[in-house]
Chains A and B, each alone.
Chain A
Amino acid sequence: MATLIPRRMRGLASLAEALLTPHGADRYLELVDPMLVRRELRGRVVAVRRQTPDSVTFRVRPSRAWRGFRAGQYVRLQVEIDGVRRTRCYSPCEAEHSGELEFTVKADPSGLVSRHLQETTGVGTVVGLSPADGEFTLPSPRPSRIVLISGGSGITPVLAMARTLVAERHPGEIVFLQYSNSGSDALYREELAALAAEHPGLRVIHAYTHARTGGDLHGLFSEAHLERAAPWFREAQTFVCGPPPLMSAVSDLYGREGLSEHLHTEEFTAAPLTFDTTAAEGRVRFARSGRECDNTGKPLLEQAEDVGLTPEHGCRMGICFSCTQLKTAGRVRNARTGEVTGEENEEIQLCISVPVGDVEIDA
């Protein structure tokens, strides 16, 4: 009987879909309540607080289709600003398998979406969500020694890891090294203190980059900092997320030590990409739409937009993979790594791929 009921429900649902063709049930349900949609993921904000003047922390209850996430993964959050839907990646920062999602967003003064979220998010706000994605996750089984390093709002995926490890009663040692400008910028200070109090294996170390006092450590990331925080870091797995200078400082150190294998990174804000538009040559063809243009040396996403196409995209900096499309011919250079690839039928990210000569995209 228990299995019959869902089957009958499914029958009813497909009858409803047939009756409501071509638009489908969601397009009617959402007019009653945006959260009733069955196929799309949406979330309603159920709690909001502002830990620092330039950030916002909010909890989101996802719609039925939500399938959970793993600590460290990110979700594509969608909001509408002036009629345009904008997509950005944010990492939920509570323990895995929580029924709700918590996000902390730091407003970038020049950031459209982060500022919008910081200024307007309130209880009841509905946002679009994607399934969780990303490879920046804790391995299973868990390493016994773990170093978590974060800077600014890069704390979110790392905090999810710490909370997950505490919830799992991780038996080993965990050090959480968090960088903030000063005490007033430190996100989740109290939560981290409570977490450390709850779990004897966890130590939280606050490093302030701009303040000379008040922290456990001061100044920018250095080997000395790491030695102080986790003298055993060479035997640990390290997870780091933060602004580009912190990421590269950590990567350099681990590279010098021959420990790159032990380092796991997630970039939130990519370093600005530069494009040489003077030496560009060849033609760019978007096969499905039949549009064509001379290669301008800009990323393919911009070239597509310049010829009037509107490919799906998100971060525009190579992080979220929303703009991934099939390249059917030609070579492209990855603007982040400099790597040139020329394989046939290769999936590429339009926002960071620059054509090298003639290129054809299946878009």
Chain B
Amino acid sequence: MTGTQRLTPEQVEDFGRDLDALRQRIVDNLGEEDVTYLRNLIKTQRALEVTGRGLLFAGFLPPAWLAGVATLSLAKILDNMEIGHNVMHGQYDWTHIPELGSQRFEWDNVAPAENWRHSHNYIHHTFTNVLGKDRDIGYGILRMDPAQKWHPYYLGNPLYATLLAILFEWGVMLHDLEVERVVQGERSWAENVPVLKKIVRKAAQQIGKDYVLFPLLTGPLAPLTLLGNASANLVRNLWAFAIIFCGHFPADVESFTEEEAENETRGQWYLRQILGSANISGSPLFHVLSGNLSHQIEHHLFPDLPARRYPQIAGEVREICERYGLPYHTGPLRKQLWSVAKKIVRLALPGQGPAPDATVDPDRQLRAA
């Protein structure tokens, strides 16, 4: 039985109001501290990046090369997660500081910010875990939900997942082209021209920097620098994949049909966000490195609140969930990763979970009407 069944329509609305009140309290309290936090983080990221690039100039010394890769990886992780992802969500738009605004920010990643803002901020965050709508379910490549109809193609699920983890930034980049929708005739190639243009330009800049210019600048060390930069990108890719897959795909996380998500009230929307997300427990440093996506539940409830606020409100969100008898999915990284890995392997095979025509449990009432 899922949590949704236990709530009456009145309870769903009370629940929504409780969350709205929580949100308003944070909005009223936003201020200089939030901006200082982000600026310090940006300073740290820039310092790590400059240090990492610098160390690779001494890459002929193995410890320097390793340290260079480590610091550059950290810089890229911070840039993409706690800074880029969050700024591009508009978490700092209220400051009216252009360089911290969602529309101008560009991240150290081959996926152009503008494309990503559409696929992630709009599509994924609006239609969270709605099958057929949320293109983040399996990224159009994987079978991540039992309700996705099995096909022999999915025998490769573990292989595709491994490749996606290794090439994650390229996967995110290509994701914006919505190729599966083009193949199905729901989207035209003409619509993809502007998207593709941005991709080519951005990828050229990123490749130029990491795989041409910086290697060339180090002269005879060029191959080592190239390898170092590629390694840093790989580390960032694996990390981002792990965090993001743990946010929506552990066992227990629910998916929804398009009918269930139609004409939702605010309370119902909140409910879907909670049931469709999972947290990862860990230390404060771990939360920062995950871009606070370890607080995926809080992030999905309030995607435009500064992420540093999520740990502060997590206790209260959990308490609200308990009060309404709702699940609050959370667990340490190893547990969530294991759960995701099992799912990837299990769903490679047919017949796991309910049969496709019975995906909607007729008794399950998201709207609890």
Contacts and interface: CB of A to CB of B under 8 A. Distances in A.
Interface string B87-124: 00010011111010100001110000000000000000
A23 B106 contact: yes
Given A19-B214, A22-B108, A23-B106, A83 B209 contact: no
B213 interface: yes
A80 B33 CA distance: 12
A84 interface: yes
A86 interface: yes
B208 interface: yes
A345 interface: no
Contact of A18 (B33, B36, B94, B213): B213
Given A27-B99, A83-B32, A83-B35, A310 B93 contact: yes
Q: Please tell me the size bucket of the interface on A.
A: 10 to 19
B81 to A, nearest CB: 15
Given A21-B205, A21-B206, A310-B94, A82 B31 contact: yes
Interface in B36-93: 36, 42-43, 46, 50, 90, 93
A4 interface: no
A85 interface: yes
Band of interface residues on B? 20 to 34
A80 B217 CA distance: 39
B20 interface: no
A341 B13 CA distance: 43
A27 B94 CA distance: 20
B254 interface: no
Given A83-B95, A84-B96, A85-B95, A22 B107 contact: yes
Contact of B96 (A15, A86, A308): A86
Overall SS of chain A's interface: mixed
Contact of A31 (B30, B46, B107): B46
B178 interface: no
B260 interface: no
A312 interface: yes
Nearest to A15: B213
Contacts of B107: 22
Contact of B30 (A21, A83, A312): A83
Contacts of A82: 31-32
B99 A18 contact: no
Contacts of B50: 28
Given A19-B214, A23-B106, A312-B96, A83 B33 contact: yes
Interface in A6-60: 15, 18-19, 21-23, 27-28, 31
A18 B212 CA distance: 11
Contacts of B106: 22-23
Contacts of A21: 205-206, 208-209
Interface string A72-111: 0000000010111111000000000000000000000000
A292 to B, nearest CB: 15
Contacts of B213: 15, 18-19
Contacts of A27: 42, 46, 99
B34 interface: yes
Contacts of A22: 106-108, 202, 205-206
Contact of B209 (A19, A28, A84, A308): A19
Nearest to A313: B96
B208 A83 contact: no
A14 to B, nearest CB: 11
A80 B99 CA distance: 13
A85 B208 CA distance: 34
B31 A83 contact: yes
B97 A28 contact: no
5 contacts: A15-B213, A82-B31, A83-B34, A83-B35, A87-B96
Minimum-distance CB pairs A-B, first 9 = A22-B106, A83-B35, A83-B32, A85-B96, A310-B93, A82-B31, A21-B205, A85-B97, A83-B31
